[in-house]
Structures are given as structure tokens and as C-alpha cells.
């Protein structure tokens, strides 16, 4: 049987045949091509593989709801501070008002800001989990991101829970000025108290993790994990090269380079992440 005949018979795949041209019209979104190796995949298979290319292990972007579902046990997720939202204390305006930008982002993503926080379980072990979402203004860290993460860590300290934060950020949120920068110290302070109670903190660095997030809580973990080939940096390549007057290696901003130079502890594929986190949590279970 030829491919066209097979596709026509598969009603779940083919929407219709154009009678004027006899061309098979396949609905959009059914097939996806890997940008790294060129493999053409059925979209449902890619989703089943947690949005990781089965050929080259290329990690496709995913967002906070997907990560929560992948990491936590079924029906164990209990979100915190879901209605907390940013204001516009500086009346900031670039090509549009910041207040309007926040409304647009909420409409686009269904989120109030760039992080979701809550309590969940991994292999029946309770954890405090924060998951950043790059769709919301590039995962930028503003006052709400800092406040939600601080509340999460404080709750984890009080209830003696390990903390896991999945980082995905372009850095501080310029529209909030110094208020955004203050979040670095606030979250770091909460993590210090958490650590003083001998509790475990694991940041997971995804692509991209940059700017003020890298300069604060992303690098303060007891065990730092990154996804393969993730872009992890504080400043951009051009800024660094102009500052030090030297060319940087091609892979300078990758998780592999950071692992080689001792900045992170593990590079773990998304498909194995929950299993490895479960192992780590069991090893440290007596400490919490």
C-alpha cells in the first residue's frame, strides 16, 4: 500500500483530500521536526517522550504545567499563592504600559506571573516545588516571582521539606527596577534559613537560565542539576567578550561546559529526571 493511500485511510491523521488537486491535507501539529538532528516525529510520540527527541536527546521547550505533571506523583500537586500578582509601582512604559503587558501575559499563558509554586510528592516523598515558566515575559524575576519562591521556601523550612526549583529565566524584570533586584537577596536569605535547618535544596537549570536567577538561587543548591545542552549564563557572550577582551569557547554557555568546570553536579535528561530525583530524595530522606 502506498503512503498516500495509507494516510487517506487513517482518518485520525488525515482531515480531508482536496478534490481539485487530489492533495492530502494533514492537520497542522501532528508532525514535528527536530531542529537539532532533523528527525520527523509524530507529535504524540514526542509528547509521550516528555518532549525529548528520541534520536539525539534534544530537549524541546516545555512549560510549567507540563513540568509539574512530569515531576510530581499523580494528584499530589497542591498549588500555593495562585492569585498573587504584580502591580506597576513605577508606572513603567516601553512600547506599552507594564500593567497592560501583565494583562496580555495572563491572557496568553493563563498564569498570573512567571512561576508556579506548591507542595507535591515524588515517589510519595513530599517536596516544595517551584517551576518557572519562560512564556511569561521570558521567565523574568520580578517581585511576585521572588515573593512566591520565598513563601514556598519558608513553608518548606517550617514543615521540614526539601525544596526543588526548576529554573527558566531571562533574568531580572527591568519593568520593576530595583524591586526586581531585591528579590535575589530575599530568596537567597530564605534559602540560607532553609539550609541552616539541614534541609535539602535542588535547583534544576533548564534552557535558558540567565541573569539574576543564575546569580542567586539557581546556583545556591546542595545538588545542582541541569538539562542537557541548556543555556546557562549570567551575561551574554558579547558582553563578556567585550569586557575581558577575549574570545569565548563555542560551548561556553552550555550545561556541559559548566559541568566540566565544576559549576553543576549532574546533567540529567528530562526522561530520567523524576527517577533520579526520587533516588536523591530517598538518600537524604533522614535529613527531613
- For residue 26, which of 11, 46, 44, 47 has the smallest C-alpha distance? 11
Distance of CA 60 to the CA centre of its chain: 11
Which pLDDT tens digit goes with each residue over 197-250? Answer: 999 999 999 999 999 999 999 999 999 999 999 999 999 889 899 999 999 998
Interacting residues of 151 by C-beta distance below 8 A, sequence separation 6+: 80, 81, 117
Instruction: Calculate the CA dihedral of residues 65, 67, 73, 75 and round it to 10 degrees.
Output: 0
Angstrom distances, CA of residue 213 to CA of 58, 182, 247: 23, 12, 25
Count CB-CB contacts under 10 A for residue 102.
Answer: 21
pLDDT greater than 50 at residue 111 = yes
Q: Tell me: is residue 37 an annotated ligand-binding position.
A: yes
Q: Using DSSP, state whether 122 is helix, strand or coil.
A: strand
Which pLDDT tens digit goes with each residue over 17-29? Answer: 455 665 655 566 6
Which pLDDT tens digit goes with each residue over 152-192? Answer: 999 999 999 999 999 999 999 999 999 999 999 999 999 99
Please report the DSSP string for 172-217 in residue order: B-GGGTHHHHHHHHHHHHHHHHHHHTT--EEEEEEEEE-HHHHTTG
Q: Tell me: is residue 167 an annotated ligand-binding position.
A: no
Count CB-CB contacts under 10 A for residue 7.
Answer: 15
For helices 270-283 and 64-71, give the axis angle rounded to 10 degrees.
50
SS3 content of the chain, % helix, strand, coil (to 5): 40, 20, 40
The three cell numbers locating residue 39? 528527525
Number of helices and strands (H, E) in the chain? Answer: 10, 11
Which pLDDT tens digit goes with each residue over 69-105? Answer: 999 999 999 999 999 999 998 999 998 999 999 999 9
Domains of the chain: 19-60 (no CATH), 61-287 (3.90.226.10)
Q: Quick check: 284 and 198 in contact, CB under 8 A?
A: no
pLDDT value, residue 10: 42
- For residue 165, which of 124, 106, 114, 211 has the smallest C-alpha distance? 114
Q: Tell me: is residue 34 an annotated ligand-binding position.
A: yes
Distance of CA 259 to the CA centre of its chain: 19
Q: Tell me: is residue 56 an annotated ligand-binding position.
A: yes
Residue 245: CA atoms inside 13 Å, Cβ hemisphere, count?
0
Amino acid at each position: 500500500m502506498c503512503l498516500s493511500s495509507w494516510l487517506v485511510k487513517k482518518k485520525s491523521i488525515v482531515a480531508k483530500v482536496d478534490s481539485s488537486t487530489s492533495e492530502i491535507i494533514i492537520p497542522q501539529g501532528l508532525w514535528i521536526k527536530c531542529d537539532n538532528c532533523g528527525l520527523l516525529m509524530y507529535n504524540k510520540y514526542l509528547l509521550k517522550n516528555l518532549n525529548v527527541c528520541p534520536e539525539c536527546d534534544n530537549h524541546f521547550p516545555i512549560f510549567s504545567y507540563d513540568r509539574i505533571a512530569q515531576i510530581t506523583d499523580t494528584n499530589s500537586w497542591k498549588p500555593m499563592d495562585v492569585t498573587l500578582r504584580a502591580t506597576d509601582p513605577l508606572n513603567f512604559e516601553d512600547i506599552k504600559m507594564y500593567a497592560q503587558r501583565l494583562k496580555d501575559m495572563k491572557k496568553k499563558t493563563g498564569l498570573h506571573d512567571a512561576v508556579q509554586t506548591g507542595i507535591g510528592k515524588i515517589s510519595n516523598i513530599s517536596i516544595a516545588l517551584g517551576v518557572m515558566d519562560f512564556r511569561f515575559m521570558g521567565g523574568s524575576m520580578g517581585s511576585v516571582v521572588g515573593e512566591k519562591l520565598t513563601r514556598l521556601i519558608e513553608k518548606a523550612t517550617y514543615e521540614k521539606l526539601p525544596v526543588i526549583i526548576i529554573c527558566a529565566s531571562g533574568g531580572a524584570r527591568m519593568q520593576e527596577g530595583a524591586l526586581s533586584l531585591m528579590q535575589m537577596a530575599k530568596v537567597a536569605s530564605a534559602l540560607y534559613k532553609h539550609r541552616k535547618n539541614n534541609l535539602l535544596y535542588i535547583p534544576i537549570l533548564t534552557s535558558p537560565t540567565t541573569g539574576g536567577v543564575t546569580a542567586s538561587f539557581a546556583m545556591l543548591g546542595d545538588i545542582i542539576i541541569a538539562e542537557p545542552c541548556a543555556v546557562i549564563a549570567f551575561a551574554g557572550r558579547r558582553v563578556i567578550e567585550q569586557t575581558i577582551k577575549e574570545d569565548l569557547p563555542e560551548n561556553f554557555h552550555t550545561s556541559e561546559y559548566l559541568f566540566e568546570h565544576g559549576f553543576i553536579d549532574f546533567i540529567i535528561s528530562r526522561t530520567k529526571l523524576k527517577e533520579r530525583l526520587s533516588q536523591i530524595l530517598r538518600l537524604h530522606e533522614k535529613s527531613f
